[in-house]
Amino acid sequence: MFRKSIRYFSLEKFFKKLIIFLFLIQASCGCVTNQVGVYNGGLSLDLSGDGDVDSIRLFTSPSVLNLDNKPGVDGFTAKIYALDQDMPKPIKVNKGEIEFLLYESTIDGDPLQIWKFNSKKLKKHMLTTQIGVVYDFRLLWDPANAPKRKAAILAQYRSVDGKLIKAVPVVLPITK
């Protein structure tokens, strides 16, 4: 019985040391990225850097919002992720422009309003996160062109050579 308890105690000590060792190895491994992919003396993998935009993803607020603190809804928030199929994370838009088109209920006919952001304007909306580059917007519409029932929003990327890449549209309900 004495030998069993010594053997059990030794195994318990061994597994505790093994777990601590594995934890230390795991904690010391990993990738480090800097904010803009510029080498600054540390480790850097520019996984959210330059590339060609293959697709974009649009994420909006769950409904239209009151952004000007006056009665009534007047806009929405949106996030855009630009993707290159050869890059593991969303990338920067260095050329071209992002456009948002606002429609009444469905994406057809003429838009009620269009917002355009060229690569220079996009820099003001760019954030670098752990999952890559995101463009964050607060978009207010003109009250004269406000949607009445539903706000249908289309985001698209227009490259300098005219190639048009559209995100999946979003339709937001308007509650009064």
What digits encode the pLDDT tens for the residues 46-64?
Answer: 444 667 999 999 999 999 9
Check whether 40 has a pLDDT greater than 70. no
How many angstroms separate the CA atoms of 112 and 104, rounded?
7
* Mean pLDDT for the stretch of residues 15-27: 67
CB 91 within 8 Å of CB 98: no
pLDDT at 25: 60
The predicted pLDDT at position 39 comes to 36
pLDDT for 43 beyond 60: no
| CA 92 to the chain's CA centroid | 11
* pLDDT confidence bin for 169, thresholds 50/70/90: very high
- pLDDT tier, 113 (very low <50, low <70, confident <90, very high otherwise): very high
Cβ(137)–Cβ(81) under 8 Å? no
Kindly write down the DSSP assignment for every residue of 39-97, as one continuous string: --SS----TTS-----EEEEEE-SS-B--SSSSS--EEEEEEEEE-TTSSS-B---SSE
CA neighbours within 13 Å on the CB side: how many for 68? 11
* 77 pLDDT above the threshold of 50: yes
